[in-house]
Structure 1
């Protein structure tokens, strides 16, 4: 029997999943949400993408995680994710075009990273970006060990008193509520959101869409009517169909 999806090691960075063979394949860096890098959800997404012809690398940017506590999002150096993107781009399995996908806090991370790379002239930003349930502003830190269900005393989506991200060793310009300047990005951009999301309001995507259009950009935006933060089975199947189509169109050889 031949494996249909093969696991690879990208030394000192992460593992990746790809179809069998030497490639190269269109490549994707996959960013997890607040569930943390050790939770496995980003690996699930990467395996699904690998089954459709991509070399997909889930990158655990969260900190201090293990099998029982998947990691927190506090003072996360975005520079590490830039390095991971470049390592994937340089790997022999990856074709010359590399995309970026993130969901929830991973979506915030993806948009913020791209905007900072472009602001500061960092070479080789992602060739295409897709995000699901993004924020339009920088959010505060998150630690799953302090998590409380909605309605419990002390419940909050993120901690406004602590910073989630650093860039080049600093966080002074990444304070919570700072707008993410994704208008700087001129490449293909896919944004999706459930209209009944109780975790990250769909109004954040509506504001992103309005800002991008005002800046002359043409994002591909998909709203899933009545869907919450976690999509239902029919909506998730439709989402993955649209996501794979987007990356196929924008990362395949030209």
Structure 2
């Protein structure tokens, strides 16, 4: 029996999931949300993309944490994600076109990274970006050790003094509520959001869509009726149909 999904290691970076064979394959770097690298969700998403012919690389960027507790998104150097993209491009099994896919905080990460790279005139921008449940502004740090649901006696307000991201050693331009300049990215963009999202309002994606169109872009945008921050079974099937179609169109 031949395996239908094969793991391959990018030395010093982590594992990929892809089809069997020598490739090269269209590649996608996946960015997790506040559930952290240990939760396995980004690896599960990678396996889904791999089953459809992509080489998928789930980049773990949260700090700390373990199999029982999410890591933290605090002072993460976005420069490291630039290096991770370069490592994926250099991987022998990766094709010439590289996509970026993020969910929730990972969607923020993807859009913010692309906007900063474009602003700096960097080469090797992602060739296509998909963001599900994204914010339209920079958000503060996430520390899983202090996170509690509203109503829990240990609940704490989000401290905007703590920063999630750095760029070239500085937090200066990445303060919470700073708009993400997504319009700087010149490539194809996919945005999606559940219309009943209780965590981040769907209005965030509507504002991103409006901002992009004001600057002459035509993003592919999907709003999922009745779906929350993460879609249910039927909603996720629809989402993956759209997502895979988007990456097939722009990476294959």
Deviation at 1:154, TM superposition (A): 6.1
Q: Normalised by the size of structure 1, how large is the TM-score?
A: 0.97
The residue aligned with 1:89 is 89
Residue ranges of structure 2 left out of the alignment (5+ in a row): none
| Structure 2 residue 66 is matched with structure 1 residue 66 | yes
| Structure 2 residue 22 is matched with structure 1 residue 27 | no
Residue ranges of structure 1 left out of the alignment (5+ in a row): none
Matches for 1:1-254 after TM superposition, within 5 Å: 1-153=1-153, 155=155, 158-252=158-252
Distance 2:22 2:61 in 1: 27
Deviation at 1:155, TM superposition (A): 4.1
Q: Say whether the 8 Å CA contact 1:101–1:129 is kept in structure 2.
A: yes
Distance 2:249 2:240 in 1: 14
Distance 1:21 1:236 in 2: 28
Distance 2:44 2:17 in 1: 10
Q: Say whether the 8 Å CA contact 1:157–1:199 is kept in structure 2.
A: no
Deviation at 1:69, TM superposition (A): 2.5
Distance 1:21 1:27 in 2: 14
SS in structure 1 at match of 2:111: helix
Q: Which moved more, 1:30-39 or 1:154-163?
A: 154-163
Distance 1:233 1:157 in 2: 32
Deviation at 1:208, TM superposition (A): 0.4
Distance of aligned partners of 1:181 and 1:92 in 2 relative to their CA distance in 1, 3 Å threshold: same
Q: Say whether the 8 Å CA contact 1:139–1:158 is kept in structure 2.
A: no
